[in-house]
Amino acid sequence: MAPLKKAVTVLVLLILNSLITPKLLVYAGFPNLNPPQYFTDIDAINIFILTILAPLTEVAVFQYLIYFLCKKLRIYPVYYVLFSALLFSISHYYNSAYIVKSFVSGVLYAYLFNGLAQQYTRAIESAIFLTALVHSMHNIFGILYDFLSK
């Protein structure tokens, strides 16, 4: 699949995850599905953090670093994706439901990064940038959704 097409597909799946998973978790009896405080207290600093700083940092740590280590240790890509998603979700410990939602997002981010990293073996920056861009767009969707839901 072409990189841009893969990125758009993952972004659509991330948005669906953001819309559907919370409703499934409420149905399953998870308490406290409130978004993190910085999603509701929107100012210029939070927008910068959510749309630029967090996506770049999280891709560097949870996709690139884990991918690099797993590749050096010759760990199969499916285990890389699951391990990356697990660490990503644990780092988003706002409440138990958010961890579940973040795990699904983490799987999608790691899947995208893994595919792009294999395609751009000589230009890993492209994989980092495109994955961070998708992550940023997903966060922008979350900000807008929360803002418009009020």
pTM: 0.90
CB burial readout 75-111, b (16+ within 10 A) else e: eebeebbebbbbbbbeebebbebbbbbbbbbbbbbbb
The string of DSSP letters for 82-103 reads HHHHHHHHHTTBTBHHHHHHHH
Highest mean pLDDT among 18-22, 98-102, 117-121: 98-102
The CA dihedral of 34, 37, 40, 46, to the nearest 10 degrees, is: -140
* Statement: residue 12 has pLDDT above 70: yes
Largest CA distance in the chain: 47
- Average pLDDT in the 83-96 region? 92
pLDDT for 39 equals 60
- Average pLDDT in the 77-102 region? 92
Report helix angle 96-119 to 3-27, nearest 10: 170
Average pLDDT over the chain, rounded to whole?
89
Range in 29-33, 88-92, 137-141 the model is least confident about: 29-33
* Statement: residue 61 has pLDDT above 60: yes
80 or 43: which leads in pLDDT: 80
pLDDT for 146 equals 78
